[in-house]
Structure 1
Amino acid sequence: MSENEKGQYDLLVIGSGPGGYVAAIRAAQLGKKVACVEKHSTLGGVCLNVGCIPSKALLESSHKYHECRTAMEVHGIRVGNISLDLAAMMARKDAIVKNLTAGIDFLFKKNRIDRFYGTARILDNKGVEITGENKLNVRTKAVLIATGSKAAALPGVELDGTHVISSTEALAFAAVPRHLVVIGAGAVGLEMGSVWQRLGAEVTVVEYLDRVLPTADRDISKQALRLLKKQGMKFLLGSKIEGVERTGEGCRVAISGREPIIAEKVLVAIGRTPCTEGLGFKELGGKTDRRGFIEVDSHWQTSLPGVYAIGDVIGGAMLAHKASEEGVACVEQLFTGYGHVNYQAVPSIVYTHPEMASVGRTEESLKEEGVPVKTGIFYFKANGRALALGDTEGLIKIIAHRDSDRILGVHIIGPQAGDLLAEAVVAMEFSASSEDLARAFHSHPTLSEVLKEAALNIDNAAIHG
């Protein structure tokens, strides 16, 4: 074997995000020889480095800052002059990221996973060419593409990384912008907008469609708009961006049918596109859909023999936990003959305050298909723990089949919505009925009692409502 060749692996994973690194570890647990190629200097992908984790660190820090300024006095706590040390806030965020990326590095060593730094190109002979400091050919029985996604571009709007930015740059401002325009009212736009609004920026969200969170249940979308407006965020719905021009110290945002907006920063958050360039996948005849996502079968096998794909790069819900579950299931299918993901029970969370969380179908989509449904709604304002927390905004909505009572969807906006949703995910995984939830113990006083009351209310039987 020449110096620029490595021995054969059972699996080579391209990408070390939440799909790739989890798949690599699971394959190693199954006794396989595994390698992972990552083009960035740290493991963890977008989620850990410039996505899920750093954004949640800033969301938590900004919320605490906002609470100290606005919500302590009602608890009998008088706080003196509050000031913002943005550099310290950013340093905390960076330390969390560093700790977790080091943790993945440790797990790779623990599981004897070979890590290669560089880009990967799939060859036609069961091999992968890795280009880092040097070129290296690696032989492997199977390849798993887990290269993730990148921020989608808006036609006619050029990102410059300073004034017109993606979410990556929005995580690392050196100062709070005077006015931030957010293009897109999805999860990323609302989360990053709420961070900087709490820290003192004027925030205007521009959305082409007629509501925020367009894929959410309409009751949740309405509540989200009301509560975020109440917090001070501004919204221009049903508005089309015509262009963004640089001005002296900022940007001029042209909007169809409206006066232009002058902003210091413009965040483009209109979705994400798959990262497939440079892989050699298309050149070998690999099939993608019209939007560029890699096509796979029920076992995550692509159109190329021995090449699999998971996570954002195959489309669907572009969520870290979905990628992780696909990674585990794909590897188990490949090496044990069985792997499964229940796509009807994929949770989705928006980490504003209050949080928004959902699993399953929306009422509108079910009714459009003619599915007979019944719903139960209960509000946090009637819950003792929510009152004790001083956090009473929001509701829980449960949708069940009118005849079988099987839970088809659960939608939450309120305190700790993301954690509360876990019970609903398990319930749907086991095909539970609303009565199953209603009759199960829910400790008192806890926020989980709102879920129980919503389940009871499907039959108009809520005790406290």
Structure 2
Amino acid sequence: MSTYDVAVIGSGPGGYVAAIRCAQLGLKTAIIEKYSTMGGTCLNVGCIPSKALLDSSHHYEDALKHFEDHGIEIPGEVKLNLEKMMGRKATVVEQTTKGIAFLMDKNKINTYEGVGSFKDKTHINIASAEGEDVTIEAKHTIIATGSKPSSLPFIDLDKERIITSTEALKLKEVPKHMLVIGGGVIGLELGQVYKRLGAEVTVIEYMDRIIPTMDAAQSKELAKVMKKQKVKFALSHKVTAVENTGDEVVIKATDKKGKEVEFKGDYCLVSVGRKPFTDGLEADNAGIKINDRKQVEVNEHLQTNVENIYAIGDVIKGAMLAHKAEEEGVFVAETIAGQKPHIDYNLIPGVVYTWPEVASVGKTEEQLKEDRVEYASGQFPMRALGRSRASGDIDGFVKILTNKETDEVLGVHMVGARVADLIAEAVVAMEFRASAEDIARMSHAHPTYAEAVKEAALAATGDRALHV
């Protein structure tokens, strides 16, 4: 029987990063993955393939609608080859997952393909697809089994017409009318992909605004832009029934006045969030506590009630974000090695990869009001930037929220071109407890989108923005 210092169950961003960090720290490490490729949901059917399709569909839309503005004329008709687009996405996924396998070899991490389950707190059974079981021993185990798409109790996910994000990433035709249940990150990103490719798209959302966990100003701006892109929204609608009638999906919902409304389309994407995946772990054999939400319960050290077993990522409480899982993977590896790492969950950014992109870190304006924090706000529109006008990406803004007394930055919220990358500046500033004045005093290259951060900081320090 092989014995390890650490065994990691699950090879998603949290799991594989945890394994690499453990190996770097001199711990003999094994990683267990039930699928034939590594990378978990994110790399196989989540972050990476969705971004590949977002980029490809963006190029297609630019060729159809925007190249002419730049003086680029394409002779003949611009045509969509969906099969080739999906093929490119598959190639990106394959390259990325092979990259993870390379990193496992490079770091001398032993990999096992199969379903990992606990025999007891130090022994893990691995059931392979071929039916051959292997048992390994581990001094410490990290559970990183991730999540899977959620649904509503009355919805029958047939995976043909009524689909999740997994199926939406490999459709063989562009829907005529895609109905999207849920106005969160996944629904908006994939909805925009298929809108660009020619589908009619209707987003049905239970709350009164899209991306409801982000700052309300971001919700309002993104909704305004996507409406200009001809995406339809039915907000404050509670879905009560979803039926596949053959070539059509019929959704029944009630609006905020209690009136029944019906929607019809040829595909329905159910994107109402994700839920922790703990099936098959046999957690009871190790005495691990799992709560009613199927989350593995952990303490502030991400340690379960069984002292040598930890859990990270989507399978525990908190935002279901790949980079959150990565931070937790490093945190646990260093904890096992006897170090004293830390994570500030307030400084883990959230991003929506629509175009324009949406990015956020720290407290929203609504949270500050709820907490009765006296704050100042500075906002700068992207359309006032020379760089935005040059690229034609004039939608959006940067908003900086500060403590009114100390000027410390409490939250930064952005909508615009490349803000998914730009948010890192805000995270750095907040990690070092910078003030808006600190950011305003920094030189930002011209012309760049980043100048909007400086201008918003100037606005937050007393209406000092220079270019509005």
1:250 to 225, 242, 248: 248
Question: Could you tell me which residue of structure 2 aligns to residue 126 of structure 1?
Answer: 122
* Separation (CA, whole Å) in 1 of partners of 2:48 and 2:199: 22
Question: Could you tell me which residue of structure 2 aligns to residue 50 of structure 1?
Answer: 45
Question: Could you tell me which residue of structure 1 aligns to residue 163 of structure 2?
Answer: 165
Matches within 5 A, 1:28-47: 28-47=23-42
TM-score, reference length from structure 2: 0.97
* Separation (CA, whole Å) in 2 of partners of 1:191 and 1:24: 30
2:7 to 8, 12, 35: 12
**Structure 1 residue 100 and structure 2 residue 103: aligned?**
no
2:359 to 357, 360, 377: 357
**Structure 1 residue 21 and structure 2 residue 21: aligned?**
no
1:463 to 441, 454, 466: 466
Question: Could you tell me which residue of structure 2 aligns to residue 115 of structure 1?
Answer: 111
* Separation (CA, whole Å) in 2 of partners of 1:370 and 1:245: 45
Question: Could you tell me which residue of structure 2 aligns to residue 276 of structure 1?
Answer: 278
1:197 to 195, 198, 213: 195
Give the residue type in structure 2 aligned to 1:59.
L
Question: Could you tell me which residue of structure 2 aligns to residue 69 of structure 1?
Answer: 64
Question: Could you tell me which residue of structure 2 aligns to residue 181 of structure 1?
Answer: 179
Offset of residue 344 of structure 1: 1.3
* Separation (CA, whole Å) in 1 of partners of 2:209 and 2:80: 33
Contact in 2 for aligned 1:15/1:45 (Cα 8 Å): yes
Offset of residue 289 of structure 1: 3.1
Offset of residue 125 of structure 1: 4.7
Offset of residue 261 of structure 1: 1.5
Offset of residue 123 of structure 1: 2.2
What secondary structure does 2:377 align onto? Answer: strand
CA RMSD, aligned part only?
A: 1.0
**Structure 1 residue 393 and structure 2 residue 388: aligned?**
no
Offset of residue 285 of structure 1: 3.3
Displacement over 3 Å in runs of 4+: 282-285
Offset of residue 282 of structure 1: 3.8
Give unpaired runs (5+ residues) of structure 1: 1-5
Give the residue type in structure 2 aligned to 1:7.
S
Moved more, 129-138 or 210-219: 129-138
* Separation (CA, whole Å) in 2 of partners of 1:290 and 1:254: 29
Contact in 1 for aligned 2:455/2:465 (Cα 8 Å): yes
* Distance of aligned partners of 1:405 and 1:125 in 2 relative to their CA distance in 1, 3 Å threshold: closer
What secondary structure does 1:19 align onto? Answer: helix
Contact in 1 for aligned 2:121/2:309 (Cα 8 Å): no
What secondary structure does 2:444 align onto? Answer: coil
Q: Deviations over 1:416-437 (max 9, x none)?
A: 1101111001111111111111
Moved more, 276-285 or 50-59: 276-285
**Structure 1 residue 240 and structure 2 residue 238: aligned?**
yes
Question: Could you tell me which residue of structure 1 aligns to residue 456 of structure 2?
Answer: 454
Q: Deviations over 1:213-243 (max 9, x none)?
A: 0101011110011111110100000001111
* Separation (CA, whole Å) in 2 of partners of 1:369 and 1:201: 42
Give the residue type in structure 1 aligned to 2:416.
G
* Separation (CA, whole Å) in 2 of partners of 1:203 and 1:282: 44
Q: Deviations over 1:317-345 (max 9, x none)?
A: 10000100100011001113212111110
Moved more, 279-288 or 146-155: 279-288
**Structure 1 residue 144 and structure 2 residue 147: aligned?**
no
* Separation (CA, whole Å) in 2 of partners of 1:22 and 1:443: 33
Give the residue type in structure 1 aligned to 2:404.
R
Matches within 5 A, 1:427-442: 427-442=429-444
* Separation (CA, whole Å) in 1 of partners of 2:29 and 2:261: 56
Give the residue type in structure 1 aligned to 2:175.
P
* Separation (CA, whole Å) in 2 of partners of 1:8 and 1:74: 63
What secondary structure does 1:329 align onto? Answer: helix
Q: Deviations over 1:50-90 (max 9, x none)?
A: 00000000000001100111111111112231000001101
2:368 to 366, 369, 372: 366
What secondary structure does 1:266 align onto? Answer: strand
TM-score, reference length from structure 1: 0.98
Question: Could you tell me which residue of structure 2 aligns to residue 344 of structure 1?
Answer: 346
**Structure 1 residue 79 and structure 2 residue 77: aligned?**
no
Q: Deviations over 1:373-413 (max 9, x none)?
A: 10000001100000000111100000011111111110000
Offset of residue 283 of structure 1: 4.9
Identity %: 49
Contact in 2 for aligned 1:146/1:311 (Cα 8 Å): yes
2:152 to 148, 154, 157: 154
Give the residue type in structure 2 aligned to 1:444.
H
Give the residue type in structure 2 aligned to 1:355.
E
Give unpaired runs (5+ residues) of structure 2: none
* Separation (CA, whole Å) in 2 of partners of 1:194 and 1:282: 42
Contact in 2 for aligned 1:331/1:339 (Cα 8 Å): no
* Separation (CA, whole Å) in 2 of partners of 1:69 and 1:210: 33
Aligned length: 460
Give the residue type in structure 2 aligned to 1:69.
L
